[in-house]
Amino acid sequence: MSTTADPGAAARHTGVWLHGVVAEADPATLAGITGIAGTPVRTVAAAGLVAVVSDAPLAEYGEEALRRNLEDLAWLERAARSHHAVVDALSRAGAVVPARLATVYRDDDRAARALVERRDELTSTLARLTGREEWGVKGYVVPGATPRAEEPAGGGGAGAAYLRRRRAQLTGREEGQRVAAEAAATVHTALAGYAVTARRHAPQDRRLSGAATAMVLNGAYLIERDRLAAFSALIGALADRHPEIRLELTGPWPPYSFVAEPGTEPQPVGEAA
């Protein structure tokens, strides 16, 4: 007995993962970029905007599957890396509004509808990002860069002397953290004054940063592309002025810190109209 294949079956089982929105997409930039499920990236155009997407099997990227997979750290890391690789390639070619991770639509029509509904917001954001890049500056405590607390004198034997030394060490460490935090605030203010706009994120835990000492500054700065050299020189001058913290410039990054809040991003596949 013969059967006739349903031409719409594959489409019903495949969603559309949104990587980012651009004003226009150069085919040369998109060539060879792999999307979220190992499929080539492609575009959906509407309202004078271009959504860069990749096909995502709903068995893994549908609403229920995403709810489960987003709790799997290994899966989440793989998805985040794939998503970021596309957004990073787009950002190096020009302005891009990165999509929130796991923004999936049921089909191209729904992705296009989101572009129409958010046209004014997306167009404004792209204009603000054009010619600019996000750079990060991290600041870490430098042990011993602040004056050591004097060890208090006193008797009481070896046990008491140990406790006094320990108390002095803790006091010195707390003072070092306080001075470093004040320096970080001063540095951020100076860098923010130079940037188009800036955001100060919460410091990363040492297990995540991989640094030997505590992070006291985790700043993001939107910089004009042609002013990067001067921005880097400013960081050097601030580092000389504040030896109590070690400054590290990172980037350029896609402008994750300077796009709309997640709540205004397109809704996941299960909620998309």
Condensed to tens digits (0 to 9), the pLDDT of residues 219-241 reads 999 999 999 999 999 999 999 99
Amino acid identity of residue 53, one-letter, is V
In the structure encoding, which two tokens stand for residue 266, read together?
């397109």
What is the structure's pLDDT at 6? 34
Q: Given pLDDT bands bounded at 50, 70 and 90, which one contains residue 32? A: confident
The DSSP symbol for 256 reads G
Q: Which residue has the higher pLDDT, 6 or 169?
A: 169
In degrees, rounded to 5, the angle at the alpha carbon of residue 250 between the alpha carbons of residues 212 and 181 is 50
In degrees, rounded to 5, the angle at the alpha carbon of residue 130 between the alpha carbons of residues 124 and 135 is 115
Average pLDDT over residues 107-124: 96
Coil/strand/helix, residue 36: coil
Average pLDDT over residues 130-150: 81
- The domains found in the chain, sorted by start residue, are 10-130 (no CATH), 133-147+176-257 (3.30.70.1430)
* C-alpha pair distances (Å), 212 with each of 7, 142, 208, 250: 57, 10, 11, 18
Coil/strand/helix, residue 180: helix
The DSSP symbol for 40 reads B
What pLDDT, in 10s, does the model give residues 44-102? 999 999 999 999 999 988 888 988 988 989 999 999 999 999 999 999 999 999 999 99
What is the structure's pLDDT at 63? 87
What is the structure's pLDDT at 89? 94
pLDDT over threshold 70, residue 9: no
Average pLDDT over residues 105-131: 96
